[in-house]
Amino acid sequence: MSNIQLIIEERAANIGKFMVGRLLPFRQKRMVGPFIYIDHMGPVKLNERQNFDVMPHPHIGLSTLTFLFEGSIMHRDTLGNEVEIKPGAVNWMTAGKGIVHSERTPEYLRDSPLFMHGLQIWVALPKHLEQMEPQFFHIEENQIPSWTEGDLQFKLVAGEAFGKKSEVPVFSKLFMLEIKSTSKQVVNIGNELYGESGLYILKGAIESEGNIYEPKQLLVAKDSSLCEFTIQENSTIYIFGGEPFPEERFIDWNFVSSDKELISEAKQKWISQSFDKIEGDDEYIPYPTFKRK
């Protein structure tokens, strides 16, 4: 990626009995376009006595995007949705003024070994939609635009680019692209992108301006229109970004907003357990005594 502004290395973070590699937020770069939070989850093998169990917890002011490479997660929320997400599909949950959800190993897999690997992403909402009604959408893999150009395979996971539009119902101008290569070649797609741009290397490597970059690195470009690089054979990368918001966004635990008062209200509401409950699930994650960095 030409004119790399910043290189962010994955940092270990604990999300409750499960370690992830955190990419955003970062002290020198809180957001890339509207993307405000990205965790690389796994790869990890869970044995028959272990399960992926993220108990009920709340969100406001954002949309969550879950994208798996391996494994399976059962999503349940206070809108009454109960949906299993599998590799290649997208779970898109918009919290708006407030929602509670849980993410667990499905019942039929709880006594079996299981690999877990994927991306957990938060996308901030535009200011005028931060208090919208919550929504949930599940988009199957075959609904996501995919195409091939030579030895490159493209997938538009979310947003708009290349004259295509994903079925994921986003609320701002953004893109999330998957690119896979079977050979070493130059990639020049800057004219197809806009706003800010970040490139995450999942597998393989890319070369830019004489430097080699490998997995677990997020490269942030100075300008998405300068997105040109050489991708190595058998590589998989994700490019995401879009138009940044004019207002600053604040994060406190699972809450995102341009208004600190809304975050404070959500915090007190969760502490008093005044959010809606997920039917049949009385567990919950308490508000932490420390703030997530």
User: 283 labelled as ligand-binding?
Assistant: no
Query: How many other CB atoms are there within 10 angstroms of residue 229's CB atom?
Result: 24
Is 40 within any annotated ligand binding site? no
Neighbours of 232 (CB within 10 A): 19
The Cα 103–Cα 91 span in angstroms is 11
Q: What are 28's two structure tokens?
A: 């020198």
- Residue 174: name the closest of 64, 40, 32 by CA: 32
Structure tokens at 18: 């499960």
Q: Is 133 exposed, middle or buried (0-12, 13-18, 19+ CB in 10 A)?
A: exposed
101 is in an annotated binding site: yes
d(CA 256, CA 251): 5
Kindly give, in sequence order, each residue whose CB lies less than 8 Å from that of residue 86, ignoring residues fewer than 6 positions away.
68, 72, 141
Structure tokens at 54: 């993220």
Phi and psi based region of residue 189 (left: phi greater than 0; alpha: psi -120 to 50; beta: remaining): alpha
Place of tokens 């208004």: 259
Residues 6+ apart with CB under 8 A from 5: 220, 221, 222
Per the annotation, does 103 bind a ligand? yes
Can the peptide bond before residue 25 be classed as cis, meaning omega within 30 degrees of 0? yes
- The sign of the torsion formed by the CA atoms of 134, 24, 167, 141 equals negative
Q: Name residue, tokens 């430097």.
A: 211
Give the residue numbers of the binding site: 57, 59, 101, 103
Annotated binding-site residues for Fe cation read: 57, 59, 101, 103
